[in-house]
Structure 1
């Protein structure tokens, strides 16, 4: 097993509006994001009659303009025949409806992802901003920040202007015939409800989505729709599904550079979360809220947008320790959940 990751493409990156072939029939596109994490990797698979897009990008004027360049340039005027979303987050599904509608292309996703996408997009109870604020208030989010979230509204719409009305369901273990090759759907839980990575044995390639990133650990959070959930345990267990893949598999992540080294990356991700869990326990100084423990998990505080994800991740680590019997949780007179070391 290699001890570190290898980056076979070195510093080679696709230029805006251009693609870079990373394996036979597999092309890499980079699209911009309006966040600190400023890009997403998308993948085009050559089909007999056109192209299959794996993930679609965030719905912004910049991303649409780059897609327009691809339509007549790197795609050679050939249409998209299918659009596949690994999961429901805006940078992945944002332009799926626009692309599928433009080309009358089939759209593929798991039921868990499209269901949650529609719940969030339509502000269904438990998935709206009011539910987010109630959830975060239980964990100590100050009222001033709650007011800012309420004023800001549903940010999912910023990057997802519309969603496909119909879809083709991907089940765990399905084999999708894409670009003349078989791609195995490998489920991942914790980052999103039913994330699907795609593995092609013939090409030695894994389209990993957000499950395996080379430099950072993907966000694993607890949200208002499932406040007592244990997504970190689900995420760590999901990583084991990739360990049987060959060591020389080329991993195509959604953020960062393609790499080789699944096994050491899984080990590093598990070690990272073990270290963060230990830091949470070490920081416990009597009963504390998740908001009070943010510096222990991340070493700093964040802006409003980042606080949402950081607090959700902090709750995920606390719930992991709580469900594992390391912490106890009680709801105090002020209505906040506080965690403390189990006796």
Structure 2
């Protein structure tokens, strides 16, 4: 099976397979973030851009240079797999520059609007309350809030954003099945072309151990991890010869094996959480018992949201219970021994 070629972060679009090119930007913590250009050689304005990288000036300059080169003249559609700022950052600018329609699922469009409305000081206050109720110290909370994603530099797509429903999408000379699923984000979009052997997965299926399922809202008691397991069940039925285009890292084959690997990682964390929840404890206490010091140092801002998702899944299964303390602190305790 031929391995697709890869491009360097920040480079001009480089073809990795027939009619598929990638633009890549560096990520400060995780592997580089991808934008995929599908069908640039198709007739008319049928080409597709999936995700648009960061809203920062460096990314904008790269995209402007690519537009000036004429490489995107055939693009008629820009699609967001999900609302996170490293994927939605240039969406409105690109769609306006190219005169292209902009698509996202209803859930992701709503989440993006909420993040933008809550950007800056409002978002920081919400995070501070979340971290406090998780049991983090004021100093620790302040450090984590300072590095959290800020959406104040994104402009809301508004009426220009069209809502994409589950079903089909004919674009870039391909007949895609549209899959809207929960997990890494509320209603992420994946595109599957079975006949053409292509699966555009966004951050729902990555070449490493991720994605992590992280949520920072204690009032939302949805079983997000359970929804993500439903998605992995679907992916487990895909043939090995389908090329997967992820939101980060390199394109790869073997979606089913990757889904099994990712699920096993989540299952190990669930088992570990049950093991350490031998008494009622806060999120902060459980994090210290679950994760090694290097994880706390590198990914500390992510871990509270990850633990809430893990605990929420066990709570939905009736294996863990949530306790609301009088001071607003949220505790978790193992059930059935």
Q: TM above 0.5, one fold?
A: yes
2: CA distance, partners of 1:14 / 1:109: 27
Distance 1:225 1:53, change over 3 A: farther
Within 5 A, what are the aligned runs for 1:160-179? 160-166=153-159, 167-172=161-166, 174-179=167-172
Matched residue, 2:49: 53
Distance 1:199 1:153, change over 3 A: closer
Matched residue, 1:186: 179
Q: Which moved more, 1:290-299 or 1:197-206?
A: 290-299
Within 5 A, what are the aligned runs for 1:12-31? 12-14=6-8, 16-31=10-25
Cα deviation digits, residues 198-254 of structure 1 (max 9, x gap): 111232010110111011211212322743221111111111122232221111111
**Contact 2:105/2:180 (<8 A) preserved:** no
Q: How many residue pairs end up in the alignment?
A: 329
1: CA distance, partners of 2:61 / 2:156: 19
SS of the residue 1:156 aligns to: coil
Q: Which moved more, 1:201-210 or 1:19-28?
A: 19-28
Residue 279 (1) aligns with residue 275 (2): no
Unaligned runs of 5+ in 2: none
Unaligned runs of 5+ in 1: 1-5
Cα deviation digits, residues 237-293 of structure 1 (max 9, x gap): 111122232221111111111111111111111111111111112222421111111
**Aligned pair partner of 1:69 in 54, 62, 65:** 65
SS of the residue 1:260 aligns to: coil
Within 5 A, what are the aligned runs for 1:190-229? 190-224=183-217, 226-229=219-222
SS of the residue 2:300 aligns to: helix
SS of the residue 2:55 aligns to: coil
Matched residue, 1:83: 78
SS of the residue 2:21 aligns to: strand
Distance 1:249 1:296, change over 3 A: farther
Q: Over aligned residues, Cα RMSD in angstroms?
A: 2.4
**Contact 2:26/2:32 (<8 A) preserved:** yes
1: CA distance, partners of 2:328 / 2:67: 54
Q: Normalising by structure 1, what TM-score?
A: 0.87
Distance 1:140 1:99, change over 3 A: same
**Contact 1:222/1:230 (<8 A) preserved:** no
Deviation of residue 79 (structure 1)? 5.2
Distance 1:297 1:251, change over 3 A: farther
Within 5 A, what are the aligned runs for 1:116-135? 116-123=111-118, 128-135=123-130
2: CA distance, partners of 1:76 / 1:32: 21
2: CA distance, partners of 1:77 / 1:334: 55
